[in-house]
A and B are shown apart, each in its own frame.
Chain A
Amino acid sequence: ISHVLLCNVTQRVSFWFVVTDPSRNHTLPAVEVQSAIRMNRNRINNAFFLNDQTLEFLRIPSTLAPPTDPSVPIWIIIFGVIFCIVLVATMLLIFSGIRQHRRKNKGPSEMEDSEDKCENVITIENGIPCDPLDMKGGHINDAFVTEDERLTPL
């Protein structure tokens, strides 16, 4: 406390100070004091229970704390998760589609046999046999073509 000299007292808590070296009895140059304060800013702040916003040293810009940077950016982690899910789901859908395709190829060849067997059955409805339509040929039924120009003629 003996080496603190007060002058120019103001209403707000602000003060000028000089640091003297008692052994050599001279004031230390401002540049040295400034660099020392920059290095130990945190300790000085803590001594006063203040921080960089509430305790300002004129002409000494505060060194800002770097933001915490995780080694792997978080977005890459989430991206990896989503990408793997999408890839797995796509593979599953593709493989199930291939399996369905194979099953369908085996299936119709069996269904066609049963259809041919039923073709020859004549159904009786109300005592009248229904003529099965000729599947091989094809009779043109004029009744169906009266409205042939359903769509714009060319």
Chain B
Amino acid sequence: MAATDVGQEWAGEGPGSGGAGSWRGLLPINQLHWFSFKSQKSTPTGQKTGNFLPLWRLRAVAGMARTPGPDQPVDGGGEERPAWDNKLQYLLSCVGFAVGLGNLWRFPYLCQTYGGGAFLIPYIIALAFEGIPLFHIELAVGQRLRRGSIGVWTAISPYLGGMGLGCCTVSFLVSLYYNTVLTWVLWYLLNSFQHPLPWSACPLDLNRTGLVQECRDSSPVSYFWYRRTLNVSADIGDSGPVQWRLLVCLAVSWAVVYLCVIRGIETTGKAIYFTALFPYLVLTVFLVRGLTLPGAMQGLTYLFTPDLRVLQNPRVWLDAATQIFFSLSLALGGHIAFASYNPPRNNCRRDAVSIALVNSMTSLYASIAVFSVLGFKAASDHGRCLDRNILHLINAFDLPEQSVSRDTYTAALARLNASQPAEVAGLPLEACRLEDFLDKSASGTGLAFIVFTEAVLHMPGAPVWAVLFFGMLFSLGLSSMFGNMESIITPLLDLGVMPRRVPKEVLTGLACLLCFFTATCFTLRSGSYWLEIFDQYAAALNLILLAFFEVVGVAYVYGMKRFCDDIAWMTGRRPGFYWRATWKVVSPLLLLTIFLAYVALLASSPPHYKAWNPRYERFPLRQEKPYPGWVLAACVLLSFLPTLWVPVVALGQLLARCRQKTRDPPQDRCPKPRGGRAC
């Protein structure tokens, strides 16, 4: 119905537009639109633009109710809020932010571990009752109040201002470690431009008669990851020096992020065309190539064969809910920031549903591509296992070369076992079952840097595939970084932490520089252990709590009726029963359950980590070590410090109000009289 949804032609909103809602019901919106704009475009009715006040000045003159807040620069110059060039940029930015590394390396692992196709059931239920409603809230609130996360929550209620600060802090922590993962991806990308790939063979030892022992005991791929890339120490307490190779890659990756974020959405809007679309192109190429490789079909059937018994395990439901939650990048404030640059009358409900669906479809698409390649890897590992057994047989029984092939292996083994069982029993034959190789799944960095890189080694034209794969990972991560940086920079810009004269480039530069210096702690030898800590503790609990406060804040503090009226104004239709039910009841309950279940899970076992210790007796297996006390203290701090902003700011506001009440005489407690209106 949005008859006035004419693209960019919104009334020249000034920076202090928190009270836009008062217009509703007073003047029909379509009449408002022929007041002047503070832009070069001529008005649709051809009025002279000079006679009428620009709309933002009208608002200041009319003395609208504004909530007091830090976001009201009193300027006559009236800089307009930046805007998207077109709707596609906005959609691609949100999709790029939501679609990240987790879609590629977490979802396929979950699908495989939890009974294949059966996992889609809790996933879709979580999407419908938790993902889409929360996402809609974020987009609607950002688009309505047209501020970053700090400004939005301060505008809803000053007592909730801490939520914005919490979101900002969590975004800062997430961007630190997320960009470190991109650093590792960049390192691999730089090393992919050579043939043979450096992780294909072990390096030689000192007298060149054999391979380096650490590599010989594990595998060339693991050695390259743990030793040549991370140079990981055996213990988290042993920090070691900063690895210069990772440090320079970190510098470059922050430089790339700065280059794209330098002028806010003006530059990310251009960069997003490439970074959001390139991964889809590469996924398609990998899909086509993967499906033509031998063994792909076994991998896919193994992935998608549903096992409905797994639904009885409550862990599945918890993992599905958390996967949806983190996959959509909720509660970070990035979607609020993106939506705040929209024209105010934009159908955010349709955007929310479509972006969430695109995100889930991408997860499925990526898992098909990944699993066809992993099926190929399992098949080729199985084949090599058979070849080793065949070599043992041929050597032991003096059979002619190539007399036993992979297909005739079982028959030949049975025959030899029947005739000479004692000799066969003495041979070091491995049990080669395809299911065992298919079971060797991995998620996270293990999938990308160990399993997939090994799979790529055996594809013809390996460097090309390696470059494509790591390029895709880099652009996937980069588009998510845009959202993270916007969720830090937009609130800071709205707060006005820097004076007006200082250009935006300086603020983004300072933010990137600060993040770079803080992230150097991840380039120490124990950096990867710290990254796991940040991933598990800093992000997970805080985001769930902040999302819970978001839903409760909007549904109960802001008021469901007021929120529905806002959405009706923006999209032309009031939210139906499904939306209101999920916002008021289902989503808060779900989030609370997830939070409690997560805490119970973390508390059930003492936190430990898996260290790569070449001196461990069962070496290629990683050694499980408990965290030392000071690390546990850091974990607890990380889990709760960002959310502490909420009660701290609420208390601070309460104290400030009380002090104001005691200072001013009681009758001045009514709102300041405007235009002679008495209390």
Among candidates B23, B252, B562, B675, residue contacting A82 with C-beta atoms closer than 8 Å: B252
Say if the beta carbon of A89 comes within 8 Å of chain B. yes
With A123-B48, A144-B63 in contact, do A86 and B255 touch (Cβ < 8 Å)? yes
Stretch at the interface among B127-135, B189-197, B483-491, B632-640: B189-197
By the criterion of a CB under 8 Å from any partner CB, how many residues of chain A are at the interface? 54
Question: Which chain B residues numbered 184 to 236 have a C-beta less than 8 Å away from chain A?
Answer: 187, 190-191, 193-194, 201, 203-204, 208-211
Say if the beta carbon of B65 comes within 8 Å of chain A. yes
Contact B53 A151 (CB under 8 A): no
Say if the beta carbon of A130 comes within 8 Å of chain B. yes
Contact A144 B51 (CB under 8 A): no
Say if the beta carbon of B248 comes within 8 Å of chain A. yes
Alpha-carbon separation in the docked complex, A146 to B409 (Å):
87
Question: Which chain A residues numbered 40 to 79 have a C-beta less than 8 Å away from chain B?
Answer: 61-64, 66-67, 74-75, 78-79
Contact B62 A145 (CB under 8 A): yes
With A79-B190, A94-B262, A97-B503 in contact, do A140 and B252 touch (Cβ < 8 Å)? no
Question: Which chain B residues numbered 529 to 569 have a C-beta less than 8 Å away from chain A?
Answer: 557-559, 562
Among candidates B51, B53, B191, B248, residue contacting A74 with C-beta atoms closer than 8 Å: B191
CB contacts (< 8 Å) of A74 on chain B: these are 190-191, 193-194
Contact A94 B193 (CB under 8 A): no
Among candidates A63, A83, A133, A144, residue contacting B252 with C-beta atoms closer than 8 Å: A83
CB contacts (< 8 Å) of A61 on chain B: these are 209-210
Question: Which chain B residues numbered 621 to 679 have a C-beta less than 8 Å away from chain A?
Answer: 657, 671, 674-677
Contact B22 A141 (CB under 8 A): no
Stretch at the interface among A1-9, A18-26, A113-121: A113-121
Say if the beta carbon of B460 comes within 8 Å of chain A. no
Alpha-carbon separation in the docked complex, A140 to B256 (Å):
50
Contact A138 B63 (CB under 8 A): yes
Enumerate chain A interface residues (CB-CB to B < 8 A): 10-12, 61-64, 66-67, 74-75, 78-79, 82-83, 86-87, 89-90, 93-94, 97-98, 101, 108, 114-115, 117-119, 121-123, 130, 132-133, 135, 138-154
Contact B51 A97 (CB under 8 A): no
Say if the beta carbon of B158 comes within 8 Å of chain A. yes
Number of residue pairs across A and B with beta carbons under 8 Å?
Answer: 153
Contact B51 A130 (CB under 8 A): yes
CB contacts (< 8 Å) of B677 on chain A: these are 142, 145
Contact B64 A145 (CB under 8 A): yes
CB contacts (< 8 Å) of A140 on chain B: these are 62-63, 674-676
Chain B min CB distance to A35 (Å): 13
With A61-B209, A133-B53 in contact, do A75 and B67 touch (Cβ < 8 Å)? no
With A63-B209, A90-B255, A94-B262 in contact, do A145 and B51 touch (Cβ < 8 Å)? no
Contact B190 A133 (CB under 8 A): no
CB contacts (< 8 Å) of A153 on chain B: these are 671
CB contacts (< 8 Å) of A10 on chain B: these are 398
Given contacts A75-B187, A89-B259, 5 further A-B contacts (CB under 8 A): A144-B62, A147-B21, A150-B19, A151-B558, A154-B157
Interface-centre pick from B47, B204, B259, B562 (highest chain A CB count, 10 A): B259
Alpha-carbon separation in the docked complex, A133 to B57 (Å):
10
With A67-B203, A86-B259 in contact, do A143 and B51 touch (Cβ < 8 Å)? no
Among candidates A63, A86, A98, A150, residue contacting B256 with C-beta atoms closer than 8 Å: A86
Question: Which chain B residues numbered 28 to 65 have a C-beta less than 8 Å away from chain A?
Answer: 47-48, 50-53, 57-58, 60-65
Say if the beta carbon of B26 comes within 8 Å of chain A. yes
Alpha-carbon separation in the docked complex, A86 to B254 (Å):
10
Question: Which chain B residues numbered 291 to 334 have a C-beta less than 8 Å away from chain A?
Answer: none
With A87-B255, A97-B505, A133-B61 in contact, do A151 and B50 touch (Cβ < 8 Å)? no
Among candidates A108, A132, A138, residue contacting B60 with C-beta atoms closer than 8 Å: A138
> 19 A–B contact pairs at CB < 8 A?
A12-B398, A63-B209, A67-B204, A93-B262, A93-B263, A97-B505, A98-B503, A118-B50, A135-B53, A135-B57, A138-B60, A143-B26, A144-B62, A146-B26, A147-B24, A147-B26, A150-B65, A151-B65, A152-B559
CB contacts (< 8 Å) of A66 on chain B: these are 204, 208
With A66-B208, A87-B255, A145-B675 in contact, do A123 and B155 touch (Cβ < 8 Å)? no
Say if the beta carbon of B25 comes within 8 Å of chain A. yes
Alpha-carbon separation in the docked complex, A141 to B64 (Å):
9
Contact B26 A114 (CB under 8 A): no
What 0/1 readout, one digit per residue, does chain B (473-516) give for beta carbons within 8 Å of chain A?
Answer: 00000000000000000000000000000010100000000000
Chain A min CB distance to B256 (Å): 6
Chain A min CB distance to B384 (Å): 15
Contact B22 A150 (CB under 8 A): yes
Alpha-carbon separation in the docked complex, A5 to B505 (Å):
85
Chain A min CB distance to B232 (Å): 19
CB contacts (< 8 Å) of B21 on chain A: these are 147, 150-151
What 0/1 readout, one digit per residue, does chain B (46-88) give for beta carbons within 8 Å of chain A?
Answer: 0110111100011011111101000000000100000000000
Alpha-carbon separation in the docked complex, A147 to B53 (Å):
22
Alpha-carbon separation in the docked complex, A119 to B48 (Å):
11
Say if the beta carbon of B18 comes within 8 Å of chain A. yes
Contact B558 A152 (CB under 8 A): yes
Alpha-carbon separation in the docked complex, A60 to B330 (Å):
63
Chain B min CB distance to A37 (Å): 14
Contact B65 A148 (CB under 8 A): yes
Say if the beta carbon of B442 comes within 8 Å of chain A. no
Residue of A whose beta carbon sits closest to that of B188 = A75
Chain A min CB distance to B213 (Å): 14
Alpha-carbon separation in the docked complex, A79 to B22 (Å):
54
Chain A min CB distance to B662 (Å): 16
Contact B262 A119 (CB under 8 A): no
CB contacts (< 8 Å) of B47 on chain A: these are 123
Residue of B whose beta carbon sits closest to that of A123 = B51
Closest 9 CB pairs of A and B: A118-B50, A140-B675, A148-B65, A75-B190, A144-B62, A138-B61, A150-B21, A152-B157, A61-B209
With A67-B204, A118-B48 in contact, do A144 and B22 touch (Cβ < 8 Å)? yes
Alpha-carbon separation in the docked complex, A101 to B19 (Å):
30
CB contacts (< 8 Å) of B24 on chain A: these are 147
Say if the beta carbon of B249 comes within 8 Å of chain A. yes
CB contacts (< 8 Å) of B674 on chain A: these are 140, 145, 148
Contact A152 B398 (CB under 8 A): no
